[in-house]
């Protein structure tokens, strides 16, 4: 029985060595990226829940990359892998470029983690055409950001829209929470 095992190891020593290298690279990336995400989240004063979601998503993506690489080493069917790769690229493209995609909100979540202006407790005004929404950043979640207006109204705003709209961070004048900019400009002109 032992000779069969050792014969198998001798036959597949390149595959085994490459798999161990892939595993080592996976662990190195995991232990380098994890503390960096924690540091960025701490600077942004995010809640532990947001940090754990970011780390979980990172671990899943790194695991998929390591597993895919290992499958290539062990001779996984390239036709199936090509289909899988094309699907992953299509989903990633949708995540990065589609306006209302759920995946674009997840991608925007990671960008918000690294952006120092979007910290918990900052007062922001989001300008959408001639409308605005303003409030304090309460939470940054995987899909949306929770704002609390000065009237204690809770506003849930999608992460991808938060990144794609002009935003004033800690503006001098506070308005009403939600409204039209044309009314505000007309009042100030008088």
Q: Of 95, 15, 38, 17, give the one whose Cα is nearest residue 61.
A: 95
pLDDT at 154: 93
pLDDT at 62: 87
**Phi and psi at residue 53, to the nearest 5°:** -65, -40
The string of pLDDT tens digits covering residues 133-146 is: 899 999 988 889 99
The string of pLDDT tens digits covering residues 43-83 is: 766 677 777 777 888 888 888 888 888 888 887 766 766 77
Burial of 8 (0-12, 13-18, 19+ CB in 10 A): exposed
Q: Does domain 116-189 have CATH number 2.30.30?
A: yes
**pLDDT at position 177 over 90:** no
Q: Are 105 and 95 in contact (CB under 8 A)?
A: no
Look up the pTM and report it: 0.52
Long-range contacts of 116-122 (CB under 8 A, 24+ apart): 116/43, 116/44, 117/167, 117/169, 118/44, 118/145, 118/162, 118/169, 119/43, 119/44, 119/45, 119/46, 120/44, 120/45, 120/46, 120/47, 121/45, 122/169, 122/170
């Amino acid at each position: 029985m032992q000779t069969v095992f050792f014969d198998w190891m001798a036959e597949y020593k390149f595959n085994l060595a490459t798999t161990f290298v892939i595993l080592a690279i996976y662990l190195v990336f995991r232990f380098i990226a994890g503390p960096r995400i924690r540091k960025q989240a701490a600077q942004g004063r995010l809640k532990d829940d947001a940090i754990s979601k970011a780390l979980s998503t990172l671990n899943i993506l790194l695991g998929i990359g390591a597993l895919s690489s290992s499958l290539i080493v062990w001779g996984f069917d390239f036709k199936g892998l090509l289909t899988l790769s094309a699907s992953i690229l299509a989903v990633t493209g949708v995540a990065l470029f589609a306006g209302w995609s759920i995946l674009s909100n997840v991608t925007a979540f990671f960008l918000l983690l690294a952006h120092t202006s979007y910290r918990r407790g900052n007062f922001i005004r989001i300008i959408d055409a001639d409308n605005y929404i303003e409030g304090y950043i309460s939470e940054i979640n995987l899909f949306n950001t929770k704002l609390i207006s000065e009237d204690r109204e809770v506003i849930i705003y999608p992460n991808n829209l938060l990144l794609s709209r002009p935003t004033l961070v800690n503006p001098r004048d506070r308005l009403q929470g939600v409204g039209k900019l044309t009314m505000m400009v007309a009042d100030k002109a008088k």
